[in-house]
Structure 1
């Protein structure tokens, strides 16, 4: 909340009106020498609502290219677009909110900070309050505003809610404004409409999960009526993937604010939260996606993609999102909310109902894993702390002992630990480390609109590995399955790394899997169990890869693995040569 994090789910959609190429063609025909940014921002002052709407929609499209964002910022785009949020035309309001949302998502944290400094929150807050009054189920809507007009207003709120989410994720000032202006009421109001507009409820739930993280100032605002809405959503029984995602997000919010739950209800609340996470992870995403893909192919109007669609999707997939696991604490939101490296696949509308269901399912499972990651976060040492340990002149045995101190188990309440075990969370997390299977990947590869799901599925695997790392810190040996289970698990993790002829090059995966292996080795060492996680040759291969990797967390993990293995070797016989190799690679990796 209000910190620079990158792994959040970019859920909103946009519908640009007309291609930006038209603008360039018009300029060339007129012989004008002016940038698209200046021309479009000037069009925002037009007396014609259609022209203003066109300009907003075109800006929404253009700012998906990060390289053009500076030109818009230099020409004061935020202050030009801000007033459009309160334009008399609902079409202008919606496209302006979409343009600002895309600017915040594709521009990153610095752009979000700048948008807050330029006071975009003032018109945004006014817009949310005005629109939510209009869509409130308890307010009598004039006949002329019913039907399509009311739906249009809800679309504006959805865009605005996603913009608010981005700003609060990036700026502590935005969080303070949220608290001061009482925007919690707006989020709760949107959540109440989950049976009428689940997309709007999901956007509000994402925003609320973000804003409730480490936000003590907000807690007094969570009056009983607000908590009742959250409880109602936790207990809802709708079985669509969108409602599954909504319940999972609400579970994360409830976990964030559990301190305000009455003491008499604490145990039941924690139990309900972990039950929902378990139900979300229980879904077999491989089977569900294959079935949804089969259904999509059976529907003629969505089973055939045009060349234009293929070109657009392929272009979106050419860039990969840049995510982080941090120090094994994953921000809850699911999928790259602040877009990195021009990955805009989540900003595009789903091509079919089946694809929308598949995307929601993957978002729900990633969110569930991230909640468990944070629930079991052991606050691992920083990279600097590890570097101090790994670069010391002490023996490998001393380094391993230092690592053991840093890896002290985290104390969770008996209610949480019991619920984690009773709902088989460790087993379900382990199953997700094997995700996805080849058949699902192959099927998604056949259709351009479905290909972006592959990255989401692999991201779930990474989150599961990070989650596994943290579970080692909170569960005792019996809850982990005993020594035999740890040996089997060590073989599984080794297979994930060495099943191919070459080591995986995905930095996110390598960070997650080396974190899990490191934690497993430490846990086995603390129990004096023989470490058969990988052969000496495999360890050296992984160390060489770590030495060449720019990701500091991977290098830290590998150094720790070397120290733990070195400690184990020092206790054995005829291990002098292996220890020399360990001493050779450790300083190289630390460079």
Structure 2
């Protein structure tokens, strides 16, 4: 019922305090009850002659902008026009922290704030910065510019933050996209993409080039798409679990060596201090330990190199999967397209009984360009997506569980799995069965998805996982049914999945499980001696249609009933035994009243369009059942 749409993902906020504090509930705003006073004071410091003070101010602003309640105070004081010039500051550190602050503003402020940023002309200094970084990257190929932390390349890190700002404002504002095109920024960001092998963070940010794919000349699209998917393939092929294990071992060894070195240094300091204590007047702090006023060391990233590498890998894989989903999904459909995609396409089925089993599913696969399809297959993307749908490496999870700083990686590994399942769903919708490997491959995939759901001691309750795995199952079973490929889930497994899923608080999960039941039931209806199973399915779907709090789920359940009981001797027997016809005749006016009362206030135009078709098909289905003699048997 309806069409699956691509999810949009925005770039995460930047944290000047490192990845472990990116979620930021504390900081200057938490320490100062007068947010307006703090904002005014920090914005004033942006004009300070000392680069260290300007950097400190940008970093502090960046932290505060992660908290939505602090944003209005900065907007009232024209934070965009204050931070804009900082993007071209003489100090590279100031440029990076200023770009990070603008990234947080765009990520946390929402669409209206992004519109305001463009109105306040943030694109002028942002485009200039991107072009300067591009020139700087060419120079760095000969002589890299290093930051205070020698493992960081200043120009690449500045470019990373700048691209994230660009990504966010272009996602929200058409004027920003127009400026992007007019200023020829595509060549700039494509140059950044080439840095994948040396700077994963920067390459992740530029994966967003897909959002402006329409600006790429048609003669270059195939090459560009293939280059992008090649990079995605390279990131997906890396085993994140093994990487966690190796990097944690590397961190442990590094910290051990550092501790040994510090022990030797402390022994040396003890000897030096004993000499200094001979004369109190000569006592001074050890060299290098003097704390400057406005010192920003506490705000800069801590030495978590191995953790940062694993985090970057997982983010790269997540972003690659998200963009592949976008590649496989067309734009939002018009009302006419929704009309075509709705269940009304099948309505004549009830009256004519003329369904051609070889004609394919009622919902045609979404359009996938030949260039994208070829690039997906050439780079073995479906195979690599499937590998990412497995549960995270148990050893890696155990390692992360016992390390507070690494524990957030568990969530990131789970997110990659969910994105892979969503990606698998999209691939199944747009790919031909033969391209996927034929019937045997699809049957193996069905077993794999069933194992993901049923192999755990307890039925999975994590909403994001359930939504992703049921979406993939729904697309797979629909594909298999359209090609008459035998399905592998037993009726017991099917009912177990649906009974658990229908109690989920997530509407998409409930929609998916009733659709799965409808697909499986329609297949069973063509097989002998399945009436008992069909009775069980019919009762379940009737209960969902009548009792679910969401009209969308109720409509999907009705659609599923239409599919299951549309044709076949076994379906006719089961329908009579569960008294399907009188139940639907009694429910019909209830459904109409619910649509009239709840529809306009709670559901979108697209959803109402589909529901209206369900209402029409309900009337037709009742008429069809009456022609079968169901009325007489009751």
Task: Output the TM-score relative to the length of structure 1.
Answer: 0.69
For residues 347-393 of structure 1, give each alpha carbon's deviation from its aligned partner in whole angstroms, at most 9, with x where no partner exists. Answer: 994552111111111111111111111111256899xx99x989xxx
Q: Could you say which residue in structure 2 is the equivalent of 1:515? A: 471
Give matches, 1:203-214, under 5 Å.
203-213=161-171
CA contact (8 A) 2:391 2:417 kept: yes
Matched, 1:259 2:259: no
1:167-316 aligned within 5 A: 170-171=111-112, 172-174=114-116, 176-177=118-119, 181-182=123-124, 183-190=126-133, 193=136, 195=140, 196-197=153-154, 198-213=156-171, 216-217=174-175, 218-223=177-182, 226-236=185-195, 239-240=197-198, 243-253=199-209, 255-300=210-255
Equivalent residues of 1:292, 1:354 under 8 A apart? yes
How many angstroms apart in 2 are the aligned matches of 1:299 and 1:230?
35
1:445-481: per-residue Cα shift (whole Å, max 9, x none)? 2322111111101100000000000011221111111
- Shift of residue 125 of structure 1? 3.5
Q: Deviation of residue 434 (structure 1)?
A: 1.2
User: Using a 3 Å threshold, how does the CA distance of structure 1 residues 134 and 381 change in structure 2: closer, same or farther?
Assistant: closer
Q: CA separation in 2, counterparts of 1:59 and 1:566?
A: 50
Distance (whole Å) between structure 2 residues aligned to residue 298 and residue 517 of structure 1: 44
Tell me which of the two structures has the higher relative contact order, counting C-alpha pairs closer than 8 angstroms and 6 or more residues apart.
1
Deviation at 1:127, TM superposition (A): 2.3
Matched with 1:105 is 66
Deviation at 1:539, TM superposition (A): 1.6
Offset, 1:542: 1.6
Residues in 2 aligned to 1:395 and 1:297: alpha-carbon distance in whole angstroms: 67
- Give the aligned partner of residue 309 of structure 2: 357
Paired with 2:133 and 2:102, the residues of 1 have a C-alpha distance of 9
Q: Following TM superposition, by how much is the alpha carbon of 1:426 offset from its aligned partner in structure 2, in angstroms? A: 0.5
Q: Is 2:457 the partner of 1:457?
A: no
Distance across 2 between alignment mates of 1:537 and 1:454:
32
Give the direction of change, closer, same or farther, for the CA distance of 1:15–1:257 in structure 2 (3 Å limit).
Answer: closer
Which one of the candidate residues 24, 27, 33 is aligned to 1:61?
27
The 3 A distance-change label for structure 1 pair 583 and 4 is: closer
Q: Is the 8 A contact 1:191 1:205 kept in 2?
A: no
1:586 and 1:381 map into 2 onto residues whose CA distance is 28
Q: Which has the larger radius of gyration?
A: 2
2-structure distance, mates of 1:430, 1:178: 45
User: Quick one: which of 535, 545, 554 aligns to 2:509?
Assistant: 554
Mean CA deviation greater in 566-575 or 170-179: 170-179
Q: 1:160 aligns with which of 77, 94, 101?
A: 101
Residue in structure 2 matched with residue 573 of structure 1 by the alignment: 528
Give the 3 Å change call, closer, same or farther, for CA 5–471 of structure 1 in structure 2.
Answer: closer
Cα shift at 1:179: 6.4
Cα deviation, residue 229, structure 1: 2.1
Q: 1:514 to 1:378 in 2, by over 3 A?
A: farther
Shift of 1:419: 0.6
Q: 1:440 to 1:362 in 2, by over 3 A?
A: same
Return the alpha-carbon distance in structure 2 between the equivalents of residues 188 and 231 of structure 1. Answer: 12
CA distance in 1, matches of 2:184, 2:332: 37
1:345-424 equivalent positions in 2, closer than 5 A: 349=301, 351-378=303-330, 407-424=363-380
Instruction: Give yes or no for contact 2:123–2:179 (8 Å, CA) kept in 1.
Output: no
1:93/1:156 contact within 8 Å kept? no
Q: Is the 8 A contact 1:518 1:560 kept in 2?
A: yes
**Distance (Å, rounded) in 2 between the aligned partners of 1:571 and 1:580:** 14
User: Over residues 324-364 of structure 1, what are the superposed CA-to-partner deviations in whole Å (9 max), with x where a residue is unaligned?
Assistant: xxxxxxxxxxxxxxxxxxxxxxx994552111111111111
Q: Is the 1:12–1:162 contact (alpha carbons within 8 Å) kept by the matching residues of 2?
A: no
Matched with 1:524 is: 480
Task: Give me the whole-angstrom Cα distance separating, in 1, the residues matched to 2:329 and 2:37.
Answer: 41
Q: Is contact 2:28–2:64 with CA below 8 Å preserved after alignment?
A: no
Give unmatched runs, 5+ long, in structure 1. 17-57, 136-149, 305-346
Q: Secondary structure at the match of 1:222?
A: helix
* CA gap 1:562/1:389 in 2 versus in 1, 3 angstroms: farther
Contact 1:278 1:423 in 2 (8 A): yes
Contact 2:400 2:407 in 1 (8 A): yes
| SS of residue in 1 equivalent to 2:329 | coil
TM-score for the superposition, normalised by structure 2: 0.65
Question: Does residue 13 of structure 1 match 2:22?
Answer: no
SS of residue paired to 1:105? coil
1:439 aligns with 2:395: yes
CA distance in 1, matches of 2:218, 2:185: 17
2:88 match: 133
Within 2, Cα distance between the matches of 1:63 and 1:579?
60
Question: Counterparts of 1:523 and 1:491 in 2: how far apart (Å)?
Answer: 15
CA distance in 2, matches of 1:468, 1:587: 30
For residues 484 and 151 of structure 1, the distance between their equivalents in structure 2, rounded to whole angstroms, comes to: 56
Q: Deviations over 1:192-219 (max 9, x none)?
A: 5555323322222222233334754323
Unaligned runs of 5+ in 2: 1-5, 141-152, 260-298, 550-634
The farther-off stretch of 485-494 and 171-180 is 171-180
- How much does 1:235 deviate? 3.0
Distance 2:29 2:543 in 1: 42
Cα distance, 1:267 vs structure 2 = 2.0
CA contact (8 A) 1:85 1:123 kept: no
Q: What's the offset of the Cα at 1:438?
A: 0.8
Q: 1: CA distance between counterparts of 2:34 and 2:495?
A: 50
